[in-house]
């Protein structure tokens, strides 16, 4: 959840030497960014520094990042004919810098902490591929989905195999757990989620699980889709902050590993409030297996001291 990022002065110093994409593309620099939370926060697992959109870049899309507007894809996929522009690629070549960064981290950590990898889920990648940028309602994506469902499923299938290839390359490089980010799938109606996003994500999960490495499936906006999301077969269910873990536990049972789900804005609060909210999340989860995490990405102006207070609180009250 942006474990390393703009809230860290050390990361901002690193960015004076590299653009965002250069940082992603340079294994030594990506490994350096990935290690910052180890020394600054004392975290329990190291998330490799990258971005979900490197998959689309490797497939031939023109990717850039505007500091004020976020990601820009200059050649959107707006029709079935456009899908042919997406190329198949070898994840160890087209995105070889990512497994290379993981290998550096595994070597540096020498078993002291696990390295975690990730990729964008097919529907979320499709949203960026079709819109060409972050959008409010993803209207162009949904228009494509509704007017040409066969073509849209073809796009999702292509993206699913690309995401699975990237995750497997990270696992082969030493990642001990990987996460599939479906940031925009929560915006779908339940039947649309079942018809489009879910089967594509399940395909990725099925391929990854053949490696024996566990996978987290995170849907931002999981509420109302819990039953369906379980059917995707992921080993861990990522949960955003809009639903309590107690409600999730009531739906999925005590044995399902959960990840989440503190509201990222809680990190603007005083330390005593952060500590109280951490205890609330832990209590809502109960005694089931749980990876404490934010319910979405850490925000760029959060004080580092508050992030550290969060980690300390989890270690104080969360370990069993």
In sequence order, what are the beta bridge partners of 290?
258
Give residue limits of the domains in the chain. Answer: 9-238
d(CA 296, CA 38): 20
Instruction: State the catalytic residue, choosing from 2, 103, 158, 249.
Output: 2
The rounded percent of the chain whose pLDDT value lies above 90 is 97
128 carries an active-site annotation: yes
The string of pLDDT tens digits covering residues 10-57 is 999 999 999 999 999 999 999 999 999 999 999 999 999 999 999 999
Q: Is 217 part of the annotated catalytic residue set?
A: no
| CA–CA separation, 67 and 72 (whole Å) | 10
Q: Catalytic annotation on 51?
A: yes
Confirm whether 2 is a catalytic residue: yes
Rounded to the nearest integer, the mean pLDDT of the chain is: 96
* Interval 123-166: pLDDT, tens: 999 999 999 999 989 999 999 999 999 999 999 999 999 999 99
pLDDT band, residue 69 (cuts 50/70/90): confident
Catalytic residue among 7, 11, 51, 187, which? 51
Question: CA–CA separation, 33 vs 218, rounded Å?
Answer: 23
Task: Please give the CATH topology (third level) of the domain spanning 9-238.
Answer: TIM Barrel (3.20.20)
Question: Would you call 108 a catalytic residue per the annotation?
Answer: no
Residue 320 pLDDT level (bands cut at 50, 70, 90): low
**Mean pLDDT along residues 302-316:** 97
Of 7, 11, 123, 128, the active-site residue reads: 128
pLDDT > 80? residue 68: no
Phi-psi region at 275: left, alpha or beta (left = phi > 0; alpha = psi -120 to 50): alpha
Q: Which of 6, 194, 207, 242 is catalytic?
A: 6
């Amino acid at each position: 959840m942006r474990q390393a990022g703009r809230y860290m002065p050390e990361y901002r110093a690193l960015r004076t030497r590299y653009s965002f994409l250069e940082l992603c593309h340079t294994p030594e620099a990506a490994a350096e960014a990935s290690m910052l939370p180890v020394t600054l926060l004392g975290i329990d697992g190291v998330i490799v520094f990258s971005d979900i959109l490197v998959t689309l870049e490797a497939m031939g899309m023109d990717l850039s990042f505007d500091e004020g507007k976020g990601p820009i894809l200059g050649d959107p996929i707006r029709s079935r004919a456009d899908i042919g522009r997406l190329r198949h690629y070898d994840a160890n070549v087209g995105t070889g810098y990512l497994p290379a960064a993981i290998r550096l981290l595994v070597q540096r950590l020498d078993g002291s902490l696990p390295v975690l990898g990730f990729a964008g889920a097919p529907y979320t990648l499709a949203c960026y591929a079709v819109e060409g940028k972050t959008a409010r309602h993803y209207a162009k994506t949904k228009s494509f989905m509704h007017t040409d469902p066969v073509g849209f499923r073809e796009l999702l299938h292509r993206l699913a195999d690309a995401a699975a290839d990237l995750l497997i390359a990270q696992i082969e490089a030493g990642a001990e757990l990987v996460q599939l980010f479906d940031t925009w799938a929560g915006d779908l109606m339940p039947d649309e989620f079942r018809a489009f996003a879910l089967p594509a994500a399940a395909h990725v999960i099925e391929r990854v699980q053949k490696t024996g490495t566990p996978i987290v499936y995170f849907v931002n906006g999981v509420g109302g889709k819990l039953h369906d999301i379980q059917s995707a077969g992921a080993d861990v269910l990522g949960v955003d902050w809009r639903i309590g873990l107690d409600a999730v536990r009531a739906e999925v049972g005590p044995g399902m590993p959960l990840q989440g789900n503190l509201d990222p804005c809680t990190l603007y609060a005083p330390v005593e409030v952060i500590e109280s909210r951490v205890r609330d999340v832990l209590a809502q989860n109960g005694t089931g297996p749980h990876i404490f995490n934010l319910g979405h990405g850490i925000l760029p102006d959060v004080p580092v001291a508050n992030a550290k207070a969060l980690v300390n609180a989890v270690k104080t009250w969360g370990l069993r």
